[in-house]
Amino acid sequence: MATTPIVLPEAPKVGMVSLGCPKALVDSERILTRLRADGYAMSADYAGADVVLVNTCGFLDSAKEESLAAIGEAIAENGRVIVTGCMGNEADAIRAKFPQVLAVTGAHQYESVVEAVHEAAPPSISPYVDLIPQADPGDVKLTPRHYSYLKISEGCNHACAFCIIPSLRGKLASRRIDAVLREAEKLVAAGTRELLVISQDTSAYGVDVRHETRQWKGREVRTHMTDLARELGQLRTPDGHTPWVRLHYVYPYPHVDAVIPLMAEGLLTPYLDIPFQHASPNVLRAMKRPANEAKVLERLKAWREVCPDITIRSSFVVGFPGETEADFQYLLDWLDEAQLDRVGAFRFEPVAGAAANDLPDPVAEAVKEERYARIMAKTEAISAAKLAAKVGRTVQVIIDEVGEPDEDGDVGATARSQADAPEIDGAVYLRNVPEGLKAGAFAEVLVEDADAHDLYGVITALS
């Protein structure tokens, strides 16, 4: 007797628009991972989605405008929209402009987002699917397979005058170190070749739990940045390589000195992303940040003595209220001495709810623009000199993208050195790469040329 085939219900589809910083990207990945586990499929466009999630950014007014524009586009193209992320804390403003949104939730409110999706597009329930055990379902990734962001905490204990992150994301809340290490191990086993450690304050990891200890592989490890860095340095890819481990948002607390030897030993990527924001003691005090620029210069020198190849990236705010020409010149002189490898600069922009909005002596927009141009010219010259010094050297790179053959059949590729974090730093452009080269491969590259931001070279060996 013939049996009628079981027809499984079609999975509802979810679209995602993710805005803002890497931390928001991690939030988007987690939301989609949970939804996929609940039986949802992902839609690559508005038309095919049963509901669209917009993960917003609310850090700057310009970011809020971008978020509102994204919400408006999603409503126009699809009509069934759920809003989450940092700007979700301004639900009244969002609903006033877009009353048709289905739900609004705040930053990292994963359960609320999932519940809203369940209500808007109920999951298809089937015992033939839901009861199948999934020992390792894998995470939905919005980044290329070969690098992954590893978020170690939420929130921040600082009260910087220009920032509203604590009001958006709350005080520091560190993840359990064994959970972080387990996630890192799974990511590397699944193909991640580069881990980017992120948080609002990586150096403060574990402060909120008094650096409690947890068992990991038969030994106790502290919930502390140095212990985390040491353990991450023990990871190996399935083919035996040491994955790159890159530390972001590192405040220069004294214990940061302890991770530099790990970089010198090749266990950590020799790269620190430190949010200095300014150098003038007057401006740092107004920002409510520690004015320790002299000690920082000494420590930069000491770090370079231990690990000569270390790359220091930072970002700076120009035009902060009360910043004088003397303050700005102090910053330029400090940069001359610090010789940072990678620098981003931002014009001060008032953010609703930030204490800096009430400070006296705002800097005129024309002056902000002029100072922004000067700091970019300064840092570009420093970068150009540093990259020019790499011409003729061999550096290790990770392949991000392999191109199509040109008219002569040659294939180029885009890669990054250990001095380059994805999306924010430079690239290494390669000519005539070997056949079969794939994204995620490590290679040794002879640097043949350089400009102010990027390197150019040829692969000498796959590593």
Whether the CA torsion 232, 234, 240, 244 is positive or negative: it is positive
DSSP state of 342: E
The DSSP result for 180-239, as a single string, is HHHHHHHHHHTT--EEEEE-S-GGGTTGGGTT-EEEETTEEEESSHHHHHHHHTT---TT
- Helix 365-388 × helix 325-338 angle, to 10°: 10
Contact between 200 and 172 (Cβ < 8 Å): yes
Distances (CA, A) of 146 to 77, 211, 227, 444: 32, 31, 24, 17
Distances (CA, A) of 254 to 226, 251, 260: 11, 9, 12
The DSSP result for 121-138, as a single string, is SPPPP-HHHHTS--S---
Distances (CA, A) of 251 to 203, 247, 356: 6, 11, 21
Largest CA distance in the chain: 91
163 is in an annotated binding site: yes
Distance CA(312)–CA(314), nearest Å, equals: 7
307 is in an annotated binding site: no
156 is in an annotated binding site: yes
Which among 188, 278, 273, 282 is positioned nearest to 238, based on CA atoms?
188
Distance CA(401)–CA(410), nearest Å, equals: 15
Please enumerate in sequence order all residues whose Cβ is within 8 A of that of 436, keeping only pairs 6 or more positions apart, or say none.
Answer: none
Q: Is 211 exposed, middle or buried (0-12, 13-18, 19+ CB in 10 A)?
A: middle
Which among 101, 86, 69 is positioned nearest to 24, based on CA atoms?
86
Contact between 71 and 101 (Cβ < 8 Å): yes
- Residues forming the annotated binding site? 21, 57, 86, 156, 160, 163
- Residues forming the annotated binding site for [4Fe-4S] cluster? 21, 57, 86, 156, 160, 163
